[in-house]
Structures are given as C-alpha cells and as structure tokens.
Structure 1
Amino acid sequence: MRIGTWNLRLCPTSTSETGRAISAWLDDQKADLWLLTEVHRDWHPRGGSIAVSPPRSFDPEAPKRWAGIETRLPLTPVPAAGDHPGEEGLALARVEVDGRQVLIACSVLPWKGAGEYWHGLPEGQIQQFAFVLDHHVERIRAERRDDEPLVWGGDFNQPLRRPIHGGTVTGMEALLAALDSLGLTALTADADHLKGLMRSIDHIAVSRHFTGDPAKTHLPLRTNGKDLSDHAAYTADVVLT
C-alpha cells in the first residue's frame, strides 16, 4: 500500500481553486491512504472516505480541522474520547487491508506559538508539545488491539534529526521515545523539509508489521510555479507482512 502525508495549509475547500489543484495532485499519486493535516471537515475524498479530528477550540463553529484520514480502503472512524485539549489534534480510524484491520492515527502536534490557536494548552513550547504528544500516545495505546498493525503520521512540527529550526531538541527526543514506545519506525526521519533547511517535520511511521523503503519527498506546485502548500508532501510504499 502507498501511504502519504501532507499539510494542505489553511484547510482549503475542495471546490476552491487551491482545493481542486490539491485534489488532482493527490489523485496522481495513487496513494491508498492519506494522512492530511489542516484539512476541511467537508473535504471531498473523491470516491473514498474521510475521518477528521474534532472542532478546533479557537474556531469551534468553523469546518476547519487539524487532522484527517482519507482513504479508498474500507474505513471505520474511531470516535473522539473525552474533552482533553489534545483531542482536537488527533484523528483515529481503522482501515481494512487484505482482510486485516489496521489502526491509523493522524496527528498535529503543537508548534511554537500554538497556544494562540489551540486553547487549553499549558504554558511553554516544550510543555505544550509534551502535553499533546503524551495524550496522543495514550489514546493510540488504549485503542490499539493486541498485535494490531499501526500507522501513525501527520504534521508533528518536529524533525527527528538535527539541525532543528522551530522545534526543540527536547521535542525531538520525546518524539523519538514515543515512536519507540509504540514499536514504530519513521519512514520520514531523513526526508527533507520543503525549504531544505532541516529534515521533515511531517511524518509517516509504521509498526513492525510493515516493510517499506524511506519516504519520498514531493514539492507540489501550482501552474504558476509557486508551492501549493507551505509543506512538502511525503509518500511511502509499504507491504503488510
């Protein structure tokens, strides 16, 4: 299966000029599963299904969401649990791959200054990152069934390698520990960031049930040559073994 992740920037609608260009590019990649961030609640999955995270606290009536899972595989959304502030940055679902259930998690984790757009977070960049990261790990762990394959990705706002711009070394170490605790391998660890100043902050990580090569970096462009988003997109081909 081919897995992709991409931050669509500012949650465009499917019917906007940007949304139509994004949809066309997504379809060209022929991915089985997309972990989309900054996505619209009513994003059209073009023959597939989509599950999105709960409303955002700073604009709760708006249809914009932090995270979404789009796929043409059979999909069963996992409902949000409780009122923890971290819930708004997490979409959970199961997909069926060759008759086997796979748990899928798509996350957005806090960035520097996230508190302005994400209510209920503690003070401080490191504290905010850890607060949401720990909640997402616990939600994934609580939902995951015995020996269930797992895919976790999205916009983690944190590279897994130095140099680090925007994130923190503490955040990098915490994220690496979280991936390890879930038995995941990040296929994006050495992928490039859009601007080439550091490694990717968007990630695709898979459990030992999958084999696959490192993720590929894509720089989707508009017809005028400008970037479609302020993030690169990433795809990885994996096999469920």
Structure 2
Amino acid sequence: MRVGTWNLEGRWSQDHLALLAAQECDVWLLTEVRDDTSLPGFESHLTTAKMSERKHWAAVFSRSQIQPLPDPHPASAAAVGMGLVSCSSILPWRTCGTVPWGEGTTTEKTSRALEQLMAALPVGGLVWGGDWNHAMEGSEYAGSLGGRAAIKNVLADRHLQLATNGLPHCIPGLFTIDHLAVPKSAQIVDVTRIVAEDLRGDRLSDHDAYAAEIALT
C-alpha cells in the first residue's frame, strides 16, 4: 500500500494532478483542498467545514471504495477503506486563531484537537496524516514543543509509527510538518519527499508532498 500527504495550499491545476498521479499512491491524505480537486480513478471525502469559501480543511482520496465517516474534528476528514481507517488532519499552528480550535496557547489548542480526534478514531487499523504544523524533531517553527509532545503521546497510544520522521521541510534546516503515521505492525518499505514544483521549477504549494510505501501484516 502506498499512501501520501500534501498540503495543496488551496490550489489546483493540471500540474498538481500530474504530481499526484506520478506518485502512484493508493491513498492520499490531502489538506487545504480546493472544492474542484479531482483525481481520476479515486473516490474522495472532504471535510464539511471549510477554511474559506472554496477551500476544505482536509480530504481523503482512495483508489478503493471508501465509506466516509463523520468528521472527527472540523479540520479532519476520515473514511474506511482497504480494511483501514484513513484520517487526514490539519492541527493548530502558532497564528491559527480560535476557529475551529478554541482559546488558549498553541499547545492547549493542539491537545484539545487531539483529544477530540482520538475520541473518534480507532486504536489499531489507522493511517493518519496531513499537515500537523509540528516538526517531530529539531527546531519548532510552526507549532509548539508542548504540541509536539502531545502528538508523540497520541502516536504511542494509538500504536502508530511515524513514517515521515527525519524528512526535511522545503525550508532548509527544518524538518517536515507534514506527516504520515501508520500501524506499528506495518513495515515501512520506502518513504519519499516529493518536491512540489512543476516542470518549469515553479512552486505548486508552499509545502512539499510525502509518500510512504508500507507492507501491512
């Protein structure tokens, strides 16, 4: 199974489609998804809530048939397919405001969002990813160290391993804030950072994409 994540930054074009198609993923956990985003041969489920008029918080796209689940959080989409629950999430960042996060520090907002998410998601049989706005090591640029610790605790509680651990951000010297977590029972065969540029070298998003091939037991 090959699963990927990418923050589309609310953009969509044939170049975006070409980049996604070239990775040959079975499941995409996309964030900041414009409402006309479409992948031929994929079923999709987008969050009910939107970041803006035409931009959904997150979406799950799958080559296999999926059964949409109620959004476990306004900024997360989840669906059942291929024997797994796939969840795509945006988590709070330093300047995120209060909607849909509530009041408090970045750590408090992140912990609260995680608590709501995990109340709705299963223990085991879960693939979870998206733009978490937290690096899992090194300097913390977008999130908070307390938020990072809360995410790591959730990964341990849900028996998940982080496939994207140690991969670089598109900003030199930083680690990725876009992540893929898969069951600890799965073997991570390969994980790749995909530079989000078109053939002319122009950026397609301010985030790179990431994909992991896993073997499920």
| Global fold match (TM > 0.5) | yes
- How many residue pairs get matched? 217
Identify if the C-alpha distance between structure 1 residues 151 and 197 changes in structure 2 by more than 3 Å, giving closer, same or farther.
same
Superposed displacement of residue 51, structure 1: 0.6
Counterpart in the other structure of 2:76:
90
Alignment partner of 1:136 out of 101, 117, 128: 117
Superposed displacement of residue 119, structure 1: 4.1
Identify if the C-alpha distance between structure 1 residues 119 and 106 changes in structure 2 by more than 3 Å, giving closer, same or farther.
closer
Question: What residue identity is the alignment partner of 1:210?
Answer: A
Contact 2:94 2:143 in 1 (8 A): yes
Query: Could you tell me how far apart the structure 2 residues matched to 1:139 and 1:63 are?
Result: 26
Query: Could you tell me how far apart the structure 1 residues matched to 2:154 and 2:192 are?
Result: 23
Superposed displacement of residue 175, structure 1: 0.7
Question: What residue identity is the alignment partner of 2:59?
Answer: G
Alignment partner of 1:186 out of 156, 162, 169: 162
Q: Deviations over 1:71-117 (max 9, x none)?
A: 11121111236xxxxx2211010112xxxx1111111001111116x
Match status 1:26 vs 2:20: yes
Match status 1:122 vs 2:103: yes
Counterpart in the other structure of 2:210:
234
SS at match of 1:114: coil
Superposed displacement of residue 192, structure 1: 0.7
Alignment partner of 2:45 out of 29, 41, 51: 51
Contact 2:78 2:88 in 1 (8 A): yes
Q: Deviations over 1:15-40 (max 9, x none)?
A: xxxx2110011101111110000002
- TM norm structure 2: 0.93
Question: What residue identity is the alignment partner of 1:134?
Answer: E
Superposed displacement of residue 214, structure 1: 5.4
Query: Could you tell me how far apart the structure 2 residues matched to 1:35 and 1:112 are?
Result: 22
Question: What residue identity is the alignment partner of 2:121?
Answer: I
Match status 1:160 vs 2:136: yes
Counterpart in the other structure of 1:84:
none
Query: Could you tell me how far apart the structure 1 residues matched to 2:113 and 2:36 are?
Result: 25
Q: Deviations over 1:213-234 (max 9, x none)?
A: 4521111212331221101110
Q: Which runs of 5+ in 1 are unaligned?
A: 14-18, 82-86
Match status 1:72 vs 2:63: yes
Question: What residue identity is the alignment partner of 1:95?
Answer: G
Alignment partner of 2:149 out of 165, 169, 173: 173
Q: Which runs of 5+ in 2 are unaligned?
A: none
Question: What residue identity is the alignment partner of 1:212?
Answer: I
Q: Choose 222-231 or 148-157, whichever is displaced more.
A: 222-231
Q: Deviations over 1:144-186 (max 9, x none)?
A: 5xxx521000000001112221222111111100111100000
Contact 1:122 1:131 in 2 (8 A): no
Alignment partner of 1:35 out of 29, 50, 57: 29
Question: What residue identity is the alignment partner of 2:29?
Answer: L
Superposed displacement of residue 45, structure 1: 2.1
Considering only aligned residues, what root-mean-square deviation do their CA atoms show, in Å?
A: 1.7
Query: Could you tell me how far apart the structure 1 residues matched to 2:200 and 2:119 are?
Result: 44
Query: Could you tell me how far apart the structure 1 residues matched to 2:117 and 2:100 are?
Result: 16
Contact 2:106 2:147 in 1 (8 A): no
Counterpart in the other structure of 2:126:
150
Superposed displacement of residue 120, structure 1: 5.3
Identify if the C-alpha distance between structure 1 residues 120 and 185 changes in structure 2 by more than 3 Å, giving closer, same or farther.
closer
